[in-house]
Amino acid sequence: MITQQNFVKKNYPHALETQRKTGIPAIFILAQAALETGWGKSAPGNMFFGVKDSDGINGNEQLLTTTEYSKKSNLKFPVILGITEVIRNGQRWFKYRVRDYFRKNDTPEQSFTDHARLISRNKRYAEAMKYTSNPYRFAEEIHKAGYATDPEYTKKLHSVMRIIERFI
């Protein structure tokens, strides 16, 4: 059974190498991987970051079940399993249970590299890249830019980052 400490020990080198290449804070990268995979319990196709594959046709994708949140009740996905109205932070949201296409990778390291390219090269995350010296602020800016649909994503990332700090 993989523990939080084992997850950090095993994957921190990938996060550090990604930080060296891109400037993205290693603790943020590792927290995101931990959160997205349940501390390594579920990383099908070495997919550590929940990166979508929008075309679903070139062979580097996999159709997986996931949860998405939106303020809209009419979103389209390859397969919708259910939609539930929920209140988060005093606001009405729609919680979608869906099957959607995600990237798959040959190795964990490839997943970390792919994720880093997505963030560091996408103009959508340019504001976050101004805060590479502050992983907590970086996480806030990534969420503001729309990386995840969960309205509590920043709070969750911050919590995981505090856990990781105990092991590094």
Over its length of 168 residues, how does the chain's per-residue pLDDT go in tens digits?
A: 789 999 999 999 999 999 998 999 999 999 999 999 999 999 999 999 888 887 666 777 888 999 999 999 999 999 999 999 999 888 999 999 999 999 898 988 889 988 988 899 999 999 999 999 999 999 999 999 998 888 899 999 999 999 999 999
Q: Which long-range contacts (CB under 8 A, 24 or more apart) does 151-160 make?
A: 151/69, 151/88, 151/89, 151/91, 151/93, 152/88, 152/89, 156/35, 157/28, 157/31, 157/32, 157/35, 160/31, 160/34, 160/35
Output the pLDDT for position 148. 86
Architecture of domain 4-65+107-165: Orthogonal Bundle (1.10)
Output the pLDDT for position 129. 96
